[in-house]
Amino acid sequence: MTGERALATRLKAQAYAVGFDLAGITRLGPADSAANFDEWLGSGYAGTMKWMHDSAELRRDSTRPVAGMRSALVVGLNYGGTLPAGSVARYARGDDYHRVMWDMLGTLGEWLHEAAGGTTRGFVDTGPVLERDLARRAGLGWFGKNTTLINPRLGSFFFIGALFTDLELPPDAPFEEDRCGTCRKCLDACPTDALTAPRVLDSNRCISYLTIELRDAIPGPLRGPIGELVYGCDICQDVCPWNVSFARDVALPAMAPHRTVANPDPAELLALDVDAFRDRFRGTAITRTKRRGLARNAAVAMGNRRNPDDVPALARATADDPEPLVRAHAAWALGRFGADPLATGALRSAMAAETDAAVRAEIAAALVAANESST
């Protein structure tokens, strides 16, 4: 075994030792999926994620983000696909995975520097890197029809990270097979039809995008299909046969669900002010939505579950919430209660006091919807 290959083997062993579940090495260079990425951007499927366009040139070639880098250790970290389904996607229930994985990659970078010198840089989801492309090239799995990377021993419930280095490390064989076959369970299960074709995701329709990345109003036709999900969505992964057979329990304590996060009551979420939101979700990925986004999502969930006990909370939000975005979605939710006199009364009272044009339009539409449902 050559010195470089021995070093690569030891590095991967260290990756498993610090807690990663998958590890492989690839050379940096032009992304195999660059053309597909450009087509995806050109179709408008990135939605409002402007940074995808801004960083496109860097993403097309993994040698571009950090000058002088030659190889990457690509890792996977399981986040518990066996956990029960809930209103919060499984990946967001534990500690913020960015910080957890950055620390783990930092430990690996220190080990590599001590063992062989050179410099390193860790990437976890936020850098201008097509991590999924690197992971396939490092042998970690194939692109599933739901667009996630699927590993034949782990399924797809895992994060991807990469440790770039200026050392020349021998690469692992890329994963060349497509093991989805004729299965289309993920495409058929998506409630918003976000998977427009195998391996093509329209973010504008994806529940994860709508509840996390979108900062504006959720389009009216998509609110109902969201159901009671308040942060992210696991549906296309839940139905995947590879996850049904091979998903694993959480092993790393940092990924274990926080008690107050796994399946919160949307009425409690709607009632949180900014300080309470920060206190409750500090250290988790849920802070990405900010309070206004999570409250918006909670209002939609309450409108979809149509529990009469939610009407007073929705009425208060429609009248008093400091965010027009939340007032608008709370009004929509009240309209889902039909001719309920408390709901319609709250809408009329809110209309009399509301000055924001967008919120007034939502209230008016909700009153029309309530009237139509009663006739």
pLDDT of 156 > 60? The answer is yes
Question: Does a structural domain hold residue 286?
Answer: yes
Of 139, 165, 191, the residue at which a domain comes to its end is: 165
Nearest in space to 89 (alpha carbons), one of 282, 297, 274: 297
Segments forming the whole domain that contains residue 291? 264-375
Give the model's pLDDT for residue 375.
55
pLDDT of 171 > 90? The answer is yes
Question: Does a structural domain hold residue 323?
Answer: yes
Better-scored residue on pLDDT, 373 or 109: 109
Find the distance separating the first CA and the last CA of the chain, reported in whole Å.
Answer: 79
Number of domains composing the chain: 2
pLDDT band of residue 30 (cuts 50, 70, 90) is: very high
Question: Does a structural domain hold residue 144?
Answer: yes
Give the model's pLDDT for residue 374.
61
Question: Does a structural domain hold residue 107?
Answer: yes
Give the model's pLDDT for residue 259.
82
CATH number at residue 351: 1.25.10.10
Nearest in space to 274 (alpha carbons), one of 249, 256, 292: 292
144/22 same-domain check: yes
Of 132, 165, 198, the residue at which a domain comes to its end is: 165
17/161 same-domain check: yes
Tell me the torsion sign for CA atoms 247, 250, 254, 259. positive
Collapse the DSSP code of 59 into the 3-class scheme (helix H, G, I; strand E, B; otherwise coil) and give the result.
Answer: helix
149/276 same-domain check: no
28/149 same-domain check: yes
Give the model's pLDDT for residue 358.
97
147/37 same-domain check: yes
Are the C-beta atoms of 20 and 75 separated by less than 8 Å? yes
Q: Which residues are catalytic?
A: 125
Give the model's pLDDT for residue 262.
77
Tell me: the pLDDT tens digits for 311-363? 999 999 999 999 999 999 999 999 999 999 999 999 999 999 999 999 999 99
Give the model's pLDDT for residue 263.
84
Question: Does a structural domain hold residue 45?
Answer: yes
pLDDT of 1 > 60? The answer is no
Tell me: the pLDDT tens digits for 33-71? 999 999 999 999 999 999 999 999 999 999 999 999 999
pLDDT of 373 > 90? The answer is no
Q: For residues 177-199, give the mean pLDDT.
A: 98
Q: For residues 238-254, give the mean pLDDT.
A: 97
156/17 same-domain check: yes
Question: Does a structural domain hold residue 371?
Answer: yes
Distance CA 278, CA 300 (A): 21
Q: For residues 225-229, give the mean pLDDT.
A: 98
Total number of residues shown for the chain: 375
Question: Does a structural domain hold residue 284?
Answer: yes
For residue 142, give both structure tokens: 């194939």
Q: What percent of the chain has pLDDT above 70?
A: 99
Q: How do beta strands 120-123 and 142-143 pair? A: unpaired
141/268 same-domain check: no
Q: For residues 154-179, give the mean pLDDT.
A: 98
32/148 same-domain check: yes
Q: For residues 100-110, give the mean pLDDT.
A: 98
The overall average pLDDT reported for the chain is 96
Of 133, 165, 197, the residue at which a domain comes to its end is: 165
Question: Does a structural domain hold residue 242?
Answer: no
CB contact set of 258 (below 8 Å; sequence gap of 6+): 93, 94, 95, 284
153/269 same-domain check: no
Q: What percent of the chain has pLDDT above 90?
A: 95
